[in-house]
Chains A and B, each alone.
Chain A
C-alpha cells in the first residue's frame, strides 16, 4: 500500500499507509491525528491545515479559489500550505511528506 510520511505537531515523524480514493484529511482523521476538520471536508473551514514538503508541492493539483480563500482563516499560512480535505490521494502520491500545521 502507498504510504504517507507525517510530521505531527510535536515533531514526531510517522509513516502511515493509505487507501487511494480518500482525501488526506480523511486518512489523517482515521489515524487519530489531531485535526479538527470541523466542516467535515467541504472546504468550509480552515481546520485541516497542513504543510506539504516542497518536493511534493508541484505534484499536487493546484489549489482552487475556494481553498485559497478558506486559507485566509488559517494562521501561520506558508507557501506550501494546503487544506488536507482538498488533497485527493492517488498512487502517484506514494511517499508524500506532510506536516500538520499548528492549531
Chain B
C-alpha cells in the first residue's frame, strides 16, 4: 500500500531532522527514510560521543546529544520514520513522486528532499581481487539467517563488535576462526572476554593477520590466504564473513538523473532545488559555489528549501513570514 504525505526526506541525519521542523512550521508533513537502524546519521553512527563545537549557542554538544535534542524539537510535528531501508527508485506521478525502498515501502509525496549526507552507509568490503564473485555465495557482509552456517567452517574477519559478537554467537553451531590484524579488539570488553574464553576452551581459533586473497576450491569451499608480518598462510573454509565497519556511498541517488558535481547534487542557493523541479537537496550531499559542509549550513538550507516546498504543497496559499517567538499559531503547533 502506498502511503501519502507532503514531503519525503531521504536521510535522517541532523539536517534531515531539522528540515522536519522548518517544514512543520509551514504545515508540511514529512516522512523520513534512512538506511541505518537509528536516526542521527553520521552524528549518531560515526561519532555519537565526540564533541561538536560549532553549533550556534551550543559551546559543546556530542553527536548523540544533538540528535536527541533535534528529535525533541521536531516531535510536535509527528514525523514518520522508515528506518533500515534505502530508497531505490523514484517515479513521477500526477501528485508528485512515489519513492520506493529496497524492502518495498512506498510513499507518495509532493516533493523529495535529499538530505543524505555522504550517502548511505554500506559495509566496507576488503579490497581483495574477485571478492565480488564470491559475494552472497561464500562471502557475506551481514547475516540474515544464521542457520545456513550450522556445521560449517567459517572465517570471521575484523576486530569490532560485529566480528566478536558473531564469533561468539556462531561458535555454538559452527566451526569458527576469527582473523584480525592484532590481538587487541575494539569491541565491548564483555564480548572480548567471552571470545578469549572460547579460544582457551578450543571452541574457536584465532588467527593473527590480514586477508589477502580468496580462491575457489572444489565442493564449494574457498581458500583464504592471509598475511602476518610478511608471512603468508592459508585456511580453507565454507564461508568468509568480513566485518570492517561501514562506509558511505552515494548509492541509487546517482541514477535519478539529477545534475551532479563530483558525486554531489547541484542546487541553486535560493531554493536548494536540484536540476529536477520539486526535488531538493540540503546538507553535505549538495553542492553550490562556496558550499561548506557544516551542520550549520544544512540548517540554513533547510529553512530556505521549506519556503519553496510550501509553494508546491499549497500552490494557492500565500506564505506569510512570522517568528516562533511571537506567533501564537506557531507556538500552538509546537505545543508550547
Interface residues in chain A, defined as those with a beta carbon under 8 Å from any beta carbon in chain B: 36, 38-40, 42, 44-47, 68-69, 71-73, 75-77, 102-103
Mask: chain B, 214-256; 1 = CB below 8 Å from A; 0 = not: 0000000000000000000000000000001101100000000
- Choice from A36, A76, A102, A103 contacting B210 with Cβ under 8 Å: A76
A88 to B159, CA, bound (A): 27
A38, B118: Cβ atoms closer than 8 Å: yes
The answer for the CA separation of A47 and B297 in the assembled complex, in Å, is 24
Is there contact, CB below 8 Å, between B248 and A72?
Answer: no
* A47 to B184 Cα, complex, angstroms: 21
Q: How far is the CA of A102 from the CA of B210 in the complex (A)?
A: 14
Give the CA-CA distance A47 to B246 in the complex, in Å: 11
Q: A39-B42, A73-B158, A73-B245 are in contact. List 20 more A-B contacts (CB 8 A).
A: A38-B118, A38-B248, A40-B293, A42-B46, A42-B47, A42-B50, A68-B182, A68-B184, A72-B158, A72-B180, A72-B182, A72-B244, A73-B124, A73-B244, A75-B127, A75-B210, A75-B244, A76-B127, A77-B181, A77-B210
Query: CA–CA, A71 to B210, complex, Å?
Result: 12
Chain B residues near A77: list those with CB within 8 A. 181, 210
Q: How far is A46 from B124 in the complex, measured between Cα atoms in Å?
A: 10
What's the minimum C-beta distance from B42 to chain A, rounded to whole angstroms? 7
- The B interface is mostly helix, strand or loop, or mixed, namely loop
Report how many residues on chain B are interfacial, defined by Cβ distance under 8 Å. 23
Q: Which residues of B contact A71 (CB under 8 A)?
A: 181
- Interface of B toward A, CB cutoff 8 Å: 42, 46-47, 50, 118, 124, 126-127, 158-160, 180-182, 184-186, 210, 244-245, 247-248, 293
Chain A residue nearest in CB terms to B212? A76
| Central interface residue in A38, A46, A77, by most chain B CB within 10 Å | A38
Q: How far is the CA of A16 from the CA of B41 in the complex (A)?
A: 34
